[in-house]
Protein backbone atom coordinates (compact mmCIF):
# COMPACT_ATOMS: atom_id res chain seq x y z
CA UNK A 1 0.00 0.00 0.00
CA UNK A 2 1.47 3.32 -1.05
CA UNK A 3 1.04 6.18 1.41
CA UNK A 4 2.91 9.26 0.31
CA UNK A 5 6.58 8.29 -0.01
CA UNK A 6 6.14 5.10 1.98
CA UNK A 7 5.21 1.62 0.83
CA UNK A 8 3.45 -0.15 3.71
CA UNK A 9 3.33 -3.96 3.57
CA UNK A 10 0.30 -5.96 4.63
CA UNK A 11 -1.86 -9.01 4.02
CA UNK A 12 -5.26 -9.20 2.38
CA UNK A 13 -6.94 -12.49 3.24
CA UNK A 14 -10.20 -13.53 1.60
CA UNK A 15 -12.73 -16.19 2.62
CA UNK A 16 -12.22 -19.59 0.96
CA UNK A 17 -15.73 -19.79 -0.46
CA UNK A 18 -17.41 -17.53 -3.00
CA UNK A 19 -19.91 -15.05 -1.55
CA UNK A 20 -23.48 -14.71 -2.70
CA UNK A 21 -22.75 -10.99 -2.97
CA UNK A 22 -19.71 -9.19 -1.61
CA UNK A 23 -17.81 -10.01 1.57
CA UNK A 24 -17.90 -7.80 4.68
CA UNK A 25 -14.44 -6.42 5.45
CA UNK A 26 -12.24 -5.96 8.50
CA UNK A 27 -9.24 -3.66 8.87
CA UNK A 28 -7.07 -5.20 11.61
CA UNK A 29 -4.28 -3.52 13.61
CA UNK A 30 -1.59 -5.55 15.37
CA UNK A 31 -0.07 -4.37 18.65
CA UNK A 32 3.36 -3.32 19.89
CA UNK A 33 4.67 -6.87 19.48
CA UNK A 34 4.44 -6.38 15.72
CA UNK A 35 2.84 -8.48 13.05
CA UNK A 36 3.25 -12.17 13.87
CA UNK A 37 1.96 -15.68 13.14
CA UNK A 38 -0.69 -15.33 15.85
CA UNK A 39 -2.34 -12.53 13.88
CA UNK A 40 -2.41 -14.59 10.71
CA UNK A 41 -4.02 -17.48 12.63
CA UNK A 42 -6.62 -15.07 13.96
CA UNK A 43 -7.31 -13.79 10.45
CA UNK A 44 -7.75 -17.36 9.22
CA UNK A 45 -10.51 -17.88 11.80
CA UNK A 46 -12.21 -14.71 10.56
CA UNK A 47 -11.99 -15.60 6.88
CA UNK A 48 -13.45 -19.02 7.65
CA UNK A 49 -16.50 -17.15 8.94
CA UNK A 50 -16.81 -15.14 5.73
CA UNK A 51 -14.90 -11.92 6.50
CA UNK A 52 -12.31 -10.39 4.19
CA UNK A 53 -9.40 -9.11 6.30
CA UNK A 54 -6.74 -6.49 5.62
CA UNK A 55 -3.84 -6.64 8.07
CA UNK A 56 -1.32 -3.83 7.42
CA UNK A 57 2.11 -3.91 9.01
CA UNK A 58 1.50 -0.40 10.22
CA UNK A 59 4.85 -0.29 11.96
CA UNK A 60 7.84 -2.59 12.18
CA UNK A 61 8.31 -2.88 8.42
CA UNK A 62 10.89 -1.44 6.07
CA UNK A 63 10.00 2.17 5.27
CA UNK A 64 11.32 4.66 2.75
CA UNK A 65 10.04 7.50 4.91
CA UNK A 66 12.84 9.70 6.25
CA UNK A 67 13.77 8.91 9.84
CA UNK A 68 15.62 10.91 12.46
CA UNK A 69 18.11 8.02 12.65
CA UNK A 70 18.89 7.18 9.02
CA UNK A 71 20.69 3.96 9.93
CA UNK A 72 17.48 2.55 11.40
CA UNK A 73 15.20 1.40 8.53
CA UNK A 74 12.48 0.04 10.82
CA UNK A 75 9.42 2.22 10.98
CA UNK A 76 8.34 3.11 14.52
CA UNK A 77 4.68 3.07 15.50
CA UNK A 78 4.94 6.79 16.27
CA UNK A 79 5.75 7.40 12.58
CA UNK A 80 2.16 6.65 11.60
CA UNK A 81 0.50 9.40 9.57
CA UNK A 82 -3.25 10.17 9.52
CA UNK A 83 -3.14 9.62 5.76
CA UNK A 84 -1.91 6.06 6.38
CA UNK A 85 -5.23 5.24 8.04
CA UNK A 86 -7.08 6.60 5.01
CA UNK A 87 -4.95 4.47 2.68
CA UNK A 88 -5.63 1.31 4.68
CA UNK A 89 -9.35 2.01 4.76
CA UNK A 90 -9.57 2.86 1.06
CA UNK A 91 -7.57 -0.25 0.15
CA UNK A 92 -10.09 -2.41 1.98
CA UNK A 93 -13.28 -0.69 0.86
CA UNK A 94 -12.23 -0.15 -2.76
CA UNK A 95 -11.62 -3.84 -3.38
CA UNK A 96 -14.38 -4.93 -5.78
CA UNK A 97 -14.91 -8.15 -3.79
CA UNK A 98 -15.66 -6.31 -0.54
CA UNK A 99 -18.85 -4.52 0.44
CA UNK A 100 -17.75 -0.98 1.31
CA UNK A 101 -20.90 -0.52 3.38
CA UNK A 102 -20.07 -3.45 5.66
CA UNK A 103 -16.58 -2.76 6.98
CA UNK A 104 -15.32 -2.57 10.56
CA UNK A 105 -12.13 -2.14 12.57
CA UNK A 106 -10.39 -4.55 14.95
CA UNK A 107 -7.22 -4.18 17.00
CA UNK A 108 -5.08 -5.73 19.70
CA UNK A 109 -3.37 -3.81 22.53
CA UNK A 110 -1.84 -0.66 20.97
CA UNK A 111 -3.70 -1.65 17.82
CA UNK A 112 -6.97 -1.63 19.77
CA UNK A 113 -6.35 1.95 20.76
CA UNK A 114 -5.53 2.78 17.15
CA UNK A 115 -8.74 1.12 15.93
CA UNK A 116 -10.74 3.44 18.18
CA UNK A 117 -8.80 6.46 16.98
CA UNK A 118 -9.32 5.41 13.37
CA UNK A 119 -13.06 5.02 13.93
CA UNK A 120 -13.23 8.69 14.82
CA UNK A 121 -11.56 9.69 11.55
CA UNK A 122 -12.70 7.26 8.87
CA UNK A 123 -16.05 7.32 7.03
CA UNK A 124 -18.50 4.45 7.10
CA UNK A 125 -17.04 2.42 9.98
CA UNK A 126 -19.72 -0.01 11.17
CA UNK A 127 -18.08 -1.24 14.37
CA UNK A 128 -14.89 -1.53 16.44
CA UNK A 129 -13.60 -4.66 18.19
CA UNK A 130 -11.02 -3.68 20.81
CA UNK A 131 -8.93 -6.41 22.44
CA UNK A 132 -7.21 -5.14 25.62
CA UNK A 133 -6.64 -1.78 23.96
CA UNK A 134 -3.93 0.64 25.04
CA UNK A 135 -6.00 3.81 25.38
CA UNK A 136 -5.48 5.66 28.66
CA UNK A 137 -1.81 5.32 29.49
CA UNK A 138 0.35 8.33 30.38
CA UNK A 139 1.31 10.27 27.25
CA UNK A 140 0.02 7.40 25.08
CA UNK A 141 -1.86 9.09 22.28
CA UNK A 142 0.52 12.03 22.59
CA UNK A 143 3.25 9.81 21.14
CA UNK A 144 1.43 9.78 17.79
CA UNK A 145 3.51 12.78 16.86
CA UNK A 146 1.85 13.28 13.47
CA UNK A 147 -1.70 13.28 14.86
CA UNK A 148 -1.85 16.96 15.75
CA UNK A 149 -5.66 16.96 15.80
CA UNK A 150 -5.63 15.23 19.20
CA UNK A 151 -6.50 17.43 22.17
CA UNK A 152 -3.58 17.80 24.58
CA UNK A 153 -6.03 18.62 27.35
CA UNK A 154 -8.09 15.46 26.85
CA UNK A 155 -6.62 12.87 24.52
CA UNK A 156 -9.75 10.72 24.66
CA UNK A 157 -12.04 13.52 23.51
CA UNK A 158 -11.80 12.06 19.97
CA UNK A 159 -14.21 9.35 21.15
CA UNK A 160 -17.14 11.74 20.79
CA UNK A 161 -16.70 11.51 17.01
CA UNK A 162 -17.29 7.74 16.94
CA UNK A 163 -20.76 6.86 15.69
CA UNK A 164 -20.53 3.05 15.51
CA UNK A 165 -20.84 0.33 18.20
CA UNK A 166 -17.74 -0.67 20.18
CA UNK A 167 -16.89 -4.03 21.73
CA UNK A 168 -14.04 -4.11 24.27
CA UNK A 169 -12.61 -7.20 26.02
CA UNK A 170 -9.91 -7.01 28.69
CA UNK A 171 -8.29 -9.27 31.30
CA UNK A 172 -8.54 -7.80 34.78
CA UNK A 173 -5.03 -9.06 35.70
CA UNK A 174 -3.37 -7.54 32.64
CA UNK A 175 0.09 -6.30 33.67
CA UNK A 176 1.05 -5.01 30.20
CA UNK A 177 -2.02 -2.88 29.52
CA UNK A 178 -3.79 -2.57 32.89
CA UNK A 179 -7.54 -2.96 32.80
CA UNK A 180 -7.71 0.62 34.09
CA UNK A 181 -7.32 1.59 30.42
CA UNK A 182 -10.68 0.04 29.62
CA UNK A 183 -12.32 1.19 32.86
CA UNK A 184 -11.55 4.79 31.89
CA UNK A 185 -12.55 4.15 28.29
CA UNK A 186 -15.89 2.75 29.45
CA UNK A 187 -16.54 5.77 31.65
CA UNK A 188 -15.91 8.22 28.82
CA UNK A 189 -18.01 6.17 26.39
CA UNK A 190 -20.85 6.47 28.88
CA UNK A 191 -20.32 10.22 29.16
CA UNK A 192 -20.51 10.56 25.36
CA UNK A 193 -23.47 8.16 25.24
CA UNK A 194 -21.72 5.82 22.81
CA UNK A 195 -22.99 2.34 22.06
CA UNK A 196 -20.23 0.38 23.78
CA UNK A 197 -20.09 -3.06 25.35
CA UNK A 198 -17.32 -3.96 27.83
CA UNK A 199 -16.33 -7.41 29.10
CA UNK A 200 -13.72 -8.08 31.79
CA UNK A 201 -12.13 -11.39 32.75
CA UNK A 202 -10.97 -11.92 36.36
CA UNK A 203 -7.51 -13.42 36.74
CA UNK A 204 -6.78 -13.11 33.01
CA UNK A 205 -3.56 -11.53 31.73
CA UNK A 206 -2.53 -9.73 28.55
CA UNK A 207 -2.37 -11.65 25.24
CA UNK A 208 -4.79 -14.25 26.59
CA UNK A 209 -6.22 -14.90 23.12
CA UNK A 210 -2.99 -16.24 21.59
CA UNK A 211 -2.64 -20.05 21.75
CA UNK A 212 0.94 -20.99 22.60
CA UNK A 213 1.45 -17.83 24.66
CA UNK A 214 2.17 -18.47 28.33
CA UNK A 215 -0.69 -16.09 29.16
CA UNK A 216 -3.21 -17.90 26.95
CA UNK A 217 -6.54 -18.56 28.68
CA UNK A 218 -8.67 -21.05 26.74
CA UNK A 219 -11.95 -20.26 28.50
CA UNK A 220 -11.60 -16.47 28.13
CA UNK A 221 -10.46 -16.88 24.53
CA UNK A 222 -13.53 -18.93 23.70
CA UNK A 223 -15.80 -16.36 25.30
CA UNK A 224 -14.20 -13.42 23.51
CA UNK A 225 -14.33 -15.13 20.12
CA UNK A 226 -18.01 -15.88 20.63
CA UNK A 227 -18.65 -12.25 21.59
CA UNK A 228 -16.65 -11.01 18.62
CA UNK A 229 -18.45 -13.18 16.07
CA UNK A 230 -21.85 -12.25 17.51
CA UNK A 231 -20.91 -8.57 17.40
CA UNK A 232 -19.74 -8.81 13.79
CA UNK A 233 -22.84 -10.75 12.82
CA UNK A 234 -25.03 -7.95 14.12
CA UNK A 235 -22.97 -5.02 12.84
CA UNK A 236 -21.89 -6.38 9.45
CA UNK A 237 -23.59 -9.51 8.22
CA UNK A 238 -27.09 -8.62 9.36
CA UNK A 239 -26.91 -5.26 7.60
CA UNK A 240 -26.94 -7.06 4.25
CA UNK A 241 -30.30 -8.69 4.87
pLDDT tens digits, 219-238: 999 999 999 999 999 999 75
pLDDT of residue 237: 73
Mean pLDDT along residues 3-17: 88
Residue-by-residue DSSP string for 117-167: HHHTTSTTEEEEEEES---SSTTTGGG-TT-TTS-SS-GGGGGGG--S-EE
Q: Answer yes or no: are the C-beta atoms of 239 and 126 closer than 8 Å.
A: yes
State the pLDDT confidence band at 65, using cuts at 50, 70 and 90: very low
β-bridge pairing 23-29 and 10-13:
unpaired
State the pLDDT confidence band at 188, using cuts at 50, 70 and 90: very high
Strand partners for 26: 53, 104
pLDDT tens digits, 129-162: 999 998 766 556 767 888 888 887 788 899 999 9
2-63+72-240 maps to CATH 3.40.50.1820: yes
Mean pLDDT along residues 79-86: 91
Mean pLDDT along residues 41-66: 82
pLDDT of residue 137: 60
Q: What ranges do the domains of the chain cover?
A: 2-63+72-240
pTM for the predicted model, two decimal places: 0.91
Q: Answer yes or no: are the C-beta atoms of 158 and 188 closer than 8 Å.
A: no
Mean pLDDT along residues 78-98: 93
Give the whole-angstrom CA distance, residue 146 versus residue 27: 21
Amino acid sequence: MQSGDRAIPGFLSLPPSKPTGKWPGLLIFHGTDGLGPQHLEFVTALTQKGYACLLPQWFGGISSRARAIESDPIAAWSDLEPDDLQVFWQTLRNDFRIDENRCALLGFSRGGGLALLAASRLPGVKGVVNFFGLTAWADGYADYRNFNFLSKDNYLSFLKHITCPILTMHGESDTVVPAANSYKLEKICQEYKLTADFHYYPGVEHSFIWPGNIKFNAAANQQTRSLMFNFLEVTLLASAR
